[in-house]
Amino acid sequence: MMDAILHHLETLRDQPLWRAPPEALRVRFREPLPQGAASLEAVGQTFLEAILPYSSGNAHPGFMGWVQGGGTVAGLMGEMLAAGLNANLGGRDHMALEVEQQVLAWTREMFGFPAEASGLFVTGASQANFMAVLIARLRALGPGVRAAGLAGAPLIAYASRAVHGCVGRAMDMAGLGAGQLRLVPTDAAGQIRLDVLAAAVAADRAAGLRPFLLIGTAGTVDVGAIDDLDALADLAAAEDLYFHVDGALGALGVLAPTLAPKFKGLERADSIAFDWHKWGQTPYDAGFLLVRDGELHRRTFASEAAYLTRAERGLAGGDWWPCDYGPDLSRGFRALKTWFTIKTYGAEALGRVALQTCELAQELAALVVAEPELELLAPVALNIVCFRYRSADADGLNAEIVADLQIAGQVAPSLTRLDGKTAIRAAIVNHRTERRDIETLVASVLALGRTSSQRRVA
């Protein structure tokens, strides 16, 4: 099985990026609960024949859909060893927690956070953003909110219209209401409009509401725009707002010295959500939340339970129990695959990959601009390019092009909508993507656009 998965990774470029799972195969999987045993070899064989060839393709060099990382062999080894160890990182006294704390320490170093900052692995930035909303809620209302609930407190949060959908859902799940998140318009660069933001905060205060949380985005999901984080930090300080940054796709850009200046102000955030499984190239899943005020973080989640009593000595010792810092009690060893990735390749290499994907995005944008049949739909701030094939029925045509590309299995962008227009969105995240992949993308979009337009005219 190990040989087969390594061979798979070595030959990715020769395989189709994606194949629709055949119906017969799906049917073969639908079986009653197996009562008896099967040989591990036979089960592994089923994986190799029926699951591996029909994966979602994000490890493939031509994958540019959504925003997904490519994974690495070091990460694979870390994940395999973690599974063998079967550690539970909810707490207690064992070396695995030392590894997670080491990654936390590196994270503090990367973002210029103080020694008392806390943090931990979570599934992804969706969960990290949700936890940040809960921390901000506790900061605004005090620890009593955990027992009493909101009791009608009119808390209002602010983010740009380009904020990821998980933030509205986080407000919903926190009991605050998605409707209490003000979505502030963006400017031509995709950054939050500071004038409109300041006016909205003032208007809400005047109306007797209670602004409590400002969320900046470091890399918007549609176009990769980075809010003016320094200006947001100033406003948050002046208005006594908790300042959280959703850096899911962008924050690890600080590892590239030439990209780092774009993130100025990130070091002033009260918390940062980001994903090692995107630009960090760690296998799924590996989200992270970093919190400046570790004590506020702990007070938001820690609970007492007799069966979790800490001891002076023995296995129930240890002074860092991650279950005090998030909603999960049992937790896997996500830290190991991330630690393997960072140790094996080094932070500089991760930064070089981030920079390389941004350079490819600039090259792609230049290829698009050079083709009169194509239209660039947004400025390229980081590693995401939104464009489309020009046509009278551009929305329908570009949606068809993207589906055709995914089915052809060489390069796979995804779709989004910008200012009411359907856009082909190429997010270059994978370390395996090369110049020839973006050339293939442009050539294929042109070819599909031309045949499709001719068919439509006919």
- Pick from 92, 108, 164, 432 the residue near ligand PLP by CB under 6 A: 164
Supply the minimum distance, in Å, between the C-beta of residue 221 and ligand PLP. Answer: 4
Contact 109, 102 (CB under 8 A): no
Do the strands 271-275 and 287-291 form a parallel or antiparallel pair, or are they unpaired? antiparallel
β-sheet bridge partners, residue 155: 210
Please say which residue, 140 or 221, places its beta carbon nearer to ligand PLP: 221
For 354, the 3-state DSSP assignment is helix
- Here's the x/- map for ligand PLP, 31-70, by CB under 6 A: it reads as ------------------------------------x---
Per-residue buried b or exposed e for 215-254, using 16+ beta carbons within 10 Å of the residue's own CB? bbbbbbbbbbbbbbbebbbebbeebebbbbbbbbbbbbbb
* Closest CB 22 distance from ligand PLP, rounded Å: 28
360 binds ligand PLP (CB under 6 A): no
In this structure, what token pair is assigned to residue 316?
């129930």
Structure tokens at 161: 């219209």
Question: Rule CB under 6 A: is residue 166 a binding residue for ligand PLP?
Answer: yes
Position 289: which residue type? L
Closest distance to ligand PLP from the beta carbon of 167 (Å): 8
Which listed residue (87, 120, 125, 213) binds ligand PLP by CB under 6 A?
Answer: 125
Beta strand 374-376 with 384-389 is: antiparallel
DSSP 8-state class, residue 392: T
Classify strands 287-291 and 118-122 as parallel, antiparallel or unpaired: antiparallel
The residue range among 183-191, 243-251, 389-397, 434-442 that interacts with ligand PLP, by the rule CB under 6 A, is 243-251
For residues 398 and 415, is the Cβ–Cβ distance under 8 A? Answer: yes
Task: Please identify, using beta-carbon distances, which residue of 145 and 162 lies nearer to ligand PLP.
Answer: 162
Name the residue number minimizing CB distance to ligand PLP: 124
- Specify the stretch interacting with ligand PLP by CB under 6 A; choose among 119-127, 291-299, 401-409, 415-423: 119-127
Inter-residue contact 103 to 342 (CB < 8 Å): yes
Query: Which of 374, 415 has the CB closer to ligand PLP?
Result: 415
Listed in sequence order, the DSSP H helices in 320-374 are 334-345, 347-370
Q: How far is the CB of 68 from ligand PLP (least distance, A)?
A: 8
Our CA dihedral for 358, 359, 363, 368, rounded to 10 degrees, sits at 10
The first and second tokens of residue 86, run together, are 């079967």
227 in contact with ligand PLP (CB under 6 A)? no
- Of 222, 246, 293, 437, which one interacts with ligand PLP (CB under 6 A)? 246
**Selected binder of ligand PLP within 133, 249, 272, 380 (CB under 6 A):** 249
Handedness of CA 105, 342, 95, 134 (dihedral sign): positive
Rg value, the chain, Cα: 23
Sheet of 155-160: strands edge to edge? 118-122, 287-291, 271-275, 242-246, 210-217, 155-160, 181-184
Exactly one of 58, 72, 126, 180 binds ligand PLP (CB under 6 A); that residue is: 126
- Nearest distance from residue 123's CB to ligand PLP, in Å? 7
Segment interacting with ligand PLP, rule: CB under 6 A, options 82-90, 233-241, 246-254, 412-420: 246-254
Half-sphere exposure of 64 (CA within 13 A, CB side): 33
Find the binding residues for ligand PLP in span 281-340 (CB under 6 A): 287
Using rule CB under 6 A, residue 248 touches ligand PLP? yes
Nearest Cα to 441, choosing from 10, 61, 14, 71?
Answer: 61
Please count the residues of this chain forming the interface with ligand PLP, following the rule CB under 6 A.
Answer: 14
Q: Considering the complex, state which of residue 131 and residue 397 has its C-beta at the smaller distance from ligand PLP.
A: 131
Residue in the block written with tokens 């020009």: 390
CB nearer ligand PLP, residue 141 or residue 221: 221
Please check whether residue 298 is in contact with residue 91, taking contact to mean a CB–CB distance below 8 angstroms: no
Cis ω before 319 (30° cut-off from 0): no
- Interface residue with ligand PLP among 181, 221, 245, 266 (CB under 6 A) is 221
For ligand PLP, the closer of residues 129 and 444 by Cβ is 129
CB of 227 or CB of 246, closer to ligand PLP: 246
Nearer CB in complex with ligand PLP: 67/401: 67
Q: How far is the CB of 129 from ligand PLP (least distance, A)?
A: 6
Measured from the CB atom, the residue of 129 and 452 that comes closer to ligand PLP is 129
Chain residues that interact with ligand PLP, rule: CB under 6 A: 67, 124-126, 164, 166, 217, 219, 221, 246, 248-249, 275, 287
